[in-house]
């Protein structure tokens, strides 16, 4: 499967996956319901304005990939469902994590746990990390680990349906303030600041280099 999905395809597929788990009583979705799901202002980043003709084009593209289809279930009104469970062999917890990444962009494991619980019983952060590992090891990989942002301890993860996301430019970490035991500010020399900045940049470069190697492996697996 080529990971070159459009933003529209990702939004449609993520919305179908979400609604199957959150409102199973109204799933599969009509075009009108799917439009409302894609254009939600909550739990969406970015907010979109998708029309029914857009949906038809996106559903046709997903159908060609074997990930969405028209179903005869539910009467005369055409309804649509996804085929991720069958074609990608993903259970509800993995689909919930993946749908969150598709609908809201890169997130940490803790954010995915908090937000994904509305769709499926995921467990603790360690359980989310296990799910992410399986998605990383999927053939082809469905998510990627992003470089740790300056000033943040937690790493974020991104879905790969549109390919590898653009990497942020290297940021120089702000030098830490030093304080005396009494709380009075202590002057930090320019050399000390430079050493701290250089050390932080070196760490970031190592992380970027590691991620670039992962990207090369991902690209090789898609070819």
pLDDT in tens, 151-206: 778 899 999 999 987 765 544 333 434 443 444 443 444 455 555 545 556 556 66
Is residue 207 very low, low, confident or very high in pLDDT (cuts 50, 70, 90)?
low
Is 27 part of any domain? yes
Is 29 part of any domain? yes
Which of 142-146, 186-190, 213-217 tops mean pLDDT?
142-146
Sole residue written with tokens 């009108």: 32
Whether 74 has a pLDDT exceeding 80, the answer reads: no
Whether 208 has a pLDDT exceeding 60, the answer reads: yes
Is 203 part of any domain? no
Is 180 part of any domain? no
For residue 82, give the H/E element and its range.
Answer: strand 79-82
| pLDDT of amino acid 166 | 74
Sole residue written with tokens 């993995």: 94
Domain of residue 47: give its range: 7-136
Q: What CATH number did the domain enclosing 119 receive?
A: 1.10.10.10
Summarize the confidence of residues 121-139 as an average pLDDT. 95
| pLDDT of amino acid 212 | 66
Overall pTM > 0.75: no
Is residue 38 very low, low, confident or very high in pLDDT (cuts 50, 70, 90)?
very high
Q: How many domains does the chain have?
A: 1
Is 132 part of any domain? yes
Give the C-alpha distances (Å, rounded to integers) separating 84 from 94, 98, 107: 10, 10, 21
Tokens of 55: 């949906």
The torsion region of residue 5 among left (phi > 0), alpha (psi -120 to 50) and beta comes to beta
Is residue 214 very low, low, confident or very high in pLDDT (cuts 50, 70, 90)?
low
Is 174 part of any domain? no
CA 62/CA 192 separation, integer angstroms:
55
CA 112/CA 39 separation, integer angstroms:
21
Percent pLDDT > 70 in the chain is: 73
């Amino acid at each position: 499967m080529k990971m070159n999905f459009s933003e529209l395809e990702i939004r449609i597929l993520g919305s179908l996956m979400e609604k199957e788990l959150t409102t199973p009583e109204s799933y599969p979705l009509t075009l009108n319901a799917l439009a409302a799901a894609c254009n939600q202002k909550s739990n969406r980043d970015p907010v979109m304005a998708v029309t029914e003709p857009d949906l038809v084009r996106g559903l046709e593209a997903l159908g060609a990939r074997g990930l969405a289809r028209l179903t005869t279930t539910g009467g005369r009104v055409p309804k649509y469902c996804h085929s991720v469970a069958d074609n990608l062999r993903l259970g509800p917890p993995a689909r919930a994590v993946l749908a969150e990444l598709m609908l809201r962009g890169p997130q940490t494991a803790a954010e995915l746990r908090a937000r994904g619980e509305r769709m499926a019983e995921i467990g603790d952060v360690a359980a989310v990390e296990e799910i992410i590992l399986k998605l990383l090891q999927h053939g082809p990989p469905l998510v990627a680990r992003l470089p740790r942002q300056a000033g943040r301890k937690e790493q974020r993860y991104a879905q790969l349906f549109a390919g590898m996301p653009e990497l942020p430019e290297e940021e120089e970490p702000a030098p830490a303030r030093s304080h005396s035991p009494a709380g009075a500010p202590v002057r930090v020399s320019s050399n000390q600041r430079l050493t701290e900045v250089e050390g932080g940049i070196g760490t970031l470069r190592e992380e970027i280099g590691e991620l670039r190697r992962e990207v090369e492996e991902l690209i090789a697996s898609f070819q």
